[in-house]
Chains A and B, each alone.
Chain A
Amino acid sequence: MTTLAPWISWFPALAAVLCGVCCFKPTLRNYAAPICVIGIFAAFISSLLVINGMDTHGTLHATAFEWIVVGDFVANFSYFIDPLTMIMLMVVTGIGTLVAIYAAGYMRGDRGYARFFFGVSLFVFAMLTLVLADNLVLLYLGWEGVGLCSYLLIGYYYDKPSAVAAAKKAFIVNRIGDLGFAAGIFFCYTTFGTVTMSGDGGIIEQARGMLESGYPVSTATLWIPFLLMLGAFGKSAQLPLYVWLPDAMEGPTPVSALIHAATMVTAGVYMIARMLPVFELSPYALPTVACVGGATAIFAATIALCQYDIKRIYAYSTVSQLGYMFIGVGALSTAGGVFHLFTHAFFKALLFLTAGSVMHALAGQLDLRKMSGLRHKMPVTCWLMFVGCLALAGFPFLAGFYSKDMILAAALQQGLDGHNTMFVVLAIVGLVTALLTAYYTFRLWFRVFMGPEQFEMGEDHHGDDGDTGHDDAHGHAGENVGGPHEMPWLMNGPLVVLALGALLAGVLGQHWIVDNVSHSTAAPHVAHGAHGADHGDGHHGSLLFGMDLHLAMQLISGCIALLGILIAWYFHLQNRAAADRWATRLSGVVTLLENKWYVDEIYDAVIVSPLRALARGFWWIDDKIINGVVMVIAAIPPLLGRAAQPWQRGQLQGYGLTMAAGIAILAFLIIVSVL
C-alpha cells in the first residue's frame, strides 16, 4: 500500500478544511471533533499501511506535486520515508489521535470548539509535512506551519491577555531560532547545491561522502550545523530560547500535551537526527548540542522543583527531558535521543492530560498548594498519573527508564572511550537531573493525590477567565457543584492507552527504535574519528564497576529514581511540615527557583526593554519626521484649491462666460498661427 504515501498528510488537511467550515456554522460545531479524530486516525492507518508495505529497512520517495522549480533549484512537495520517519509518523499520528479523542470531551461546550479542532488538524498536517519532507524548504514550511498552529492554539483563549502575550512570546522567540534555521538552509543550498535531503546527490549522501573522504575543506560546513542548531533550540525550547514553552501552558491542556510535549517540541531533535551527517561534518557541532542539552536539562529541572502550577512543572519537565534528547543526539546516540522522544511522547502526553483532568475537575485550579488527597475523588486519574510519573521519574522497567539510561550510558561511554571529560560531566549532570526529575514529579503527585483531602475550586473551567459564558454550555457544569469528579471514559480511554504506552514502550519499543534509527539517516557515521563505537546496541567499550555500561547505568539510575521518589515521599506525604521548614531555611534558593532564576526578568531588562526603547525611537522618527514631511506635502494641494476657490461662484452665466472666453482665446491662437 505504498501508493498511499503522498496522501498521509492530506487527511488531516482535509479535516482542517472541514473543521474550518464548521467554525462558521454553529449547527455543525459538534461535528468538528469527530472530523478531526477521523482525519488524524486516517493518517495513522495510512501510515501503518505504508510502513507495512515497505521493506523492513527500506526507504520510500513519493512526490505529491511539483512545488518550486526555478532553474536548478527544485523543492517539490516530495516525501521521504525511512525508518526514522516511520517512528515519527507513529508518534505524531498515534498520539495525535489519542489527544484529539481526549480533547473531544475536554473541550466540550467551549465557544471555540470547532476552531480548536481546526487548529489541531492543521497542526497535524504541518507536523506530518515536517516529518515527511524530503527537502529542507518543505521541512521549513512544516516547521513554520507547526509554529503558526502553536501560536494559534496558545492564544486560543484570545480574550485573556496572558494567553495572547504567551502566544506572541512563543511566536517571536521561535522566529529568532528560525532565522538561524533559514540561514542554515540557504548555506546548505550554496554548499551542497541542493535542498533535497535524501537520495543520490542529496545533502545527506554528500555529507556522508565528505565524512568518508576526510573532513571537507569548505568552512561553510563547519557552521551550517550551528545555524540549523539554532532553529532546533528555538523549536525544542533549549537554552537560551526555552522561555516560551512554560508560558505556552496558557493554551488548552490537550494542546500542551500534543504540541508542547509530544510532537512539535521534538521537531528540533528530529531535525538534528535527520541531518546527523551534516552535523558530524563540524567537530564542534554535536558536542555543543550535547552541552546545551545538558545545561538545559538540569537548569529546567531545578526550576521545576519549586513551581506550584502543575502544568508549569510539566512544562519545565518537558524542557528538561528535551535536554536529555539533545544529550543523546549530541553523544552520537541518536537511537537514544529518538527513543527518549518516543517514550517521552507517551508519558508526557499522559501527564499533561491527567493534569488537564485535575484542572477540569477543580474548575481551573492549577495551584499545587490548593489541592491535596484527590485520590478518592478521581481514582482513575490518580493511578494513570502515577504510571506517567513513574515513567518520567525513570522507575525501573518503565518507558523513561530505558530511554534515559540509553542516553546516559551513551554519554558516559563517549566520555570514557574518547577520554572526553565533557561527556562524563554530562552523564553526571544527567544523573543529577534524573534525581531532580524523580523528586519534582512525585512531589506533585503526592501533593495532589495523597495526604488529607483538601481542595479549593478554581474560578472557571479551563483556566480561562471564566466570564466567557461557556461554563453554562459545559456538558457537566452541574456536577461541579459537588466538587471534583472523575472524567468520563471518553477522556479516560485514551489515557489508558497512553498509560500502557508509558508502561510498555520502553520494553517493547527499544529494539524496534534502535533497529530503525540505525538504518536511517540518523545512523552515526561509523568511521568518525575517536567517537563512533556506539550504536546503542552491541558495543565493546569501557566498563563501570566491572559491569557493562548500560547495565551499570540502569542500576545507578534506577536507584536514583527510587531515591528521588523516597525524598518526595518523605517531604510531601510523610512529613509535610519538614518540607516547609526546609523551604524557610533555604528561602533564598527557593525564591530564586520560584522566580525561575529571574530569566524572564533578565531577558526583559537586557533584550526586551532596549528593543522596546529602540522601537519607540523609531516610532517617534516615523511619526514626527517621516509622517511630518508627508503631511506638509499633503497640505499643498488643499492650499492651492483654497486659493482658486473664489473663482467658483456658482453663477451659470459666469461659467458660460469663462467658457466663451476660453473658446475665444483658442480661436484667436488658431487664427494667429494660421495667418
Chain B
Amino acid sequence: MIESMHAVTLGHFLMTGAILFVLGLIGFVTRRNLIIMFLCTEMMFQGVAITLIAFSKFHMNMSGQTFVIFLLTVAAAESAMALGLVVLLFRRKRSLDSQVWAQMAG
C-alpha cells in the first residue's frame, strides 16, 4: 500500500512535463528579454520531451524515445540559430527588449 503510494506513476511524469511546459509558456508571455524568452521556449521543449519519454516508458514503445532524440538534435540546431538571430537583432537596436520589434503592427 505504502509502496504503491510512493511508486512513481505515469501521472507524476506527465505532471512534471506539464509544469515545465506551462512555466515556460508563462515565462515566454511575461518576460521581455529576448534571451530569457528563448530559454523559456527551451523549457517548453523539455516539458514535451519528458511527456514523450514517460509515455514511451510506460507503454513500452520505443518510438517516443526515438522521437526525443530527434527533438534534442533539432533543438540544439535551432538554439544555435536562435541565439545567432538574437545577437543580430541586438546589434540592430542595441537592446534585447522584445517591445522594440513592434513594427509589424497592422
Q: A residues engaging B (CB < 8 A)? A: 644-653, 656-657, 660
Q: Report B20 CB to chain A, min CB distance, Å.
A: 15
- Say if the beta carbon of B105 comes within 8 Å of chain A: yes
12 A-B pairs with CB atoms under 8 Å apart are A644-B106, A647-B106, A648-B104, A649-B102, A649-B105, A650-B101, A651-B98, A652-B98, A653-B29, A653-B30, A656-B29, A657-B29
Known contacts A649-B102, A651-B105; 4 further A-B pairs (Cβ under 8 A): A644-B106, A649-B105, A650-B105, A653-B30
**Given A656-B29, A660-B25, A660-B29: A651 and B99 interface contact (C-beta under 8 Å):** yes
Q: Report B84 CB to chain A, min CB distance, Å.
A: 18
> With a CB–CB cut-off of 8 A, which chain A residues contact B102?
649-651
- Say if the beta carbon of B52 comes within 8 Å of chain A: no
> With a CB–CB cut-off of 8 A, which chain B residues contact A645?
106
Q: Report B43 CB to chain A, min CB distance, Å.
A: 13
Give complex CA distance A648, B28 in Å: 18
> With a CB–CB cut-off of 8 A, which chain B residues contact A653?
28-30, 32, 98
> With a CB–CB cut-off of 8 A, which chain B residues contact A660?
25, 29
Q: Report A175 CB to chain B, min CB distance, Å.
A: 54
Nearest 7 A/B pairs, CB to CB = A648-B106, A650-B105, A650-B102, A645-B106, A650-B104, A652-B98, A656-B29
> With a CB–CB cut-off of 8 A, which chain B residues contact A651?
98-99, 102, 105
Interface size on B, residues (CB 8 A): 14
Give complex CA distance A652, B104 in Å: 10
> With a CB–CB cut-off of 8 A, which chain A residues contact B30?
653
> With a CB–CB cut-off of 8 A, which chain B residues contact A649?
102, 105-106
> With a CB–CB cut-off of 8 A, which chain B residues contact A657?
29
Give complex CA distance A660, B22 in Å: 9
> With a CB–CB cut-off of 8 A, which chain B residues contact A652?
37, 98, 101
User: Are A648 and B29 in contact, with the CB atoms below 8 A?
Assistant: no
> With a CB–CB cut-off of 8 A, which chain B residues contact A644?
106
> With a CB–CB cut-off of 8 A, which chain B residues contact A648?
104-106
> With a CB–CB cut-off of 8 A, which chain A residues contact B106?
644-650
- Say if the beta carbon of B4 comes within 8 Å of chain A: no
- Taking CB as reference atom, which chain A residue is nearest B32? A653
Give complex CA distance A652, B105 in Å: 10
- Taking CB as reference atom, which chain A residue is nearest B31? A653
- Taking CB as reference atom, which chain B residue is nearest A660? B25
- Taking CB as reference atom, which chain B residue is nearest A649? B105
Give complex CA distance A660, B25 in Å: 7
Give complex CA distance A649, B106 in Å: 6
> With a CB–CB cut-off of 8 A, which chain A residues contact B105?
648-651
- Taking CB as reference atom, which chain A residue is nearest B41? A656
Most B Cβ at <10 Å: residue of A649, A651, A656: A656
User: Are B103 and A650 in contact, with the CB atoms below 8 A?
Assistant: yes
Q: Report B87 CB to chain A, min CB distance, Å.
A: 17
